[in-house]
Amino acid sequence: GAVVSQHPSRVICKSGTSVKIECRSLDFQATTMFWYRQFPKQSLMLMATSNEGSKATYEQGVEKDKFLINHASLTLSTLTVTSAHPEDSSFYICSASRGTGGEGYTFGSGTRLTVV
Amino acid sequence: AQSVTQPDIHITVSEGASLELRCNYSYGATPYLFWYVQSPGQGLQLLLKYFSGDTLVQGIKGFEAEFKRSQSSFNLRKPSVHWSDAAEYFCAVGLNNNDMRFGAGTRLTVKP
């Protein structure tokens, strides 16, 4: 159990366009989902925490208007990169939590975004 | 300041040799502790986790980790490394607010 599906796995878009990434918990309800960004050969940096039915909490330095997060149901969170630029190219990973206390983290397989 | 430290950026071991990857954390209380492995272009796979109880934790793929409170460490070990173990390894801590923070990662290279 505890499977998180992330889609798409790879996307190439033109500069100025928007891209939506989906994160779904397939066999459990995720009260909280997290979005991370990973630059090449670096660690994961938390971008935002997404709670179902409420606004996401963004980490310092993350542009809310650029990285739109929607968590409309207990099984789906989306990250939309708006007006993408080449510097937004990165590997984005989501994770979902089933409960509290750090016990239920399951990660998606990541999305490689390339902005040309 | 709260932090997760993986002192070794890159480690190279010979196939069949033992492995130890270091992880230290700095938090006010004992957090939940995790080790993840990431192959190139892939997501993260959980190797093992520690919440409480026995400080020696067994994980998948023959990995184990030992929590040492006095040293604020959670080092990952494997007695005999296989070529397929070459990957990036991340230590992480889970906080009470359901957040998770990662170390910088250690890249493991396995020599034939």
Q: Which run of H or of E encompasses B76?
A: strand B73-78
Of residues A44, A49, A101, nearest to B102 (C-beta): A44
Tell me the average pLDDT of chain A.
Answer: 90
Residues B27 and B93: beta-carbon distance below 8 Å: yes
Cα A49-A78-A36 angle, rounded to 5 deg: 45
| Rounded distance between C-alpha atoms, residue B58 and residue A16, angstroms | 47
Cα distances (Å, whole numbers) of residue B101 to A47, A92, B3: 11, 15, 8
Q: What is the reported pLDDT for B42?
A: 81
A67-73: strand order across its sheet:
A4-7, A19-25, A76-81, A67-73
CB contact under 8 A, A100 and B51: no
The pLDDT, as a whole number, for residue B66 is: 96
Whether B53 has its CB under 8 Å from any CB of chain A: the answer is no
Q: Are A45 and B105 in contact (CB under 8 A)?
A: no
Tens-place pLDDT, residues A55-106: 899 999 999 999 999 988 889 999 999 999 999 999 999 998 776 555 557 8
Contact B105/A at CB under 8 A: yes
Q: In this complex, is the C-beta atom of B30 within 8 Å of any C-beta atom belonging to chain A?
A: no
Interface contact B43, partner A, CB < 8 A: yes
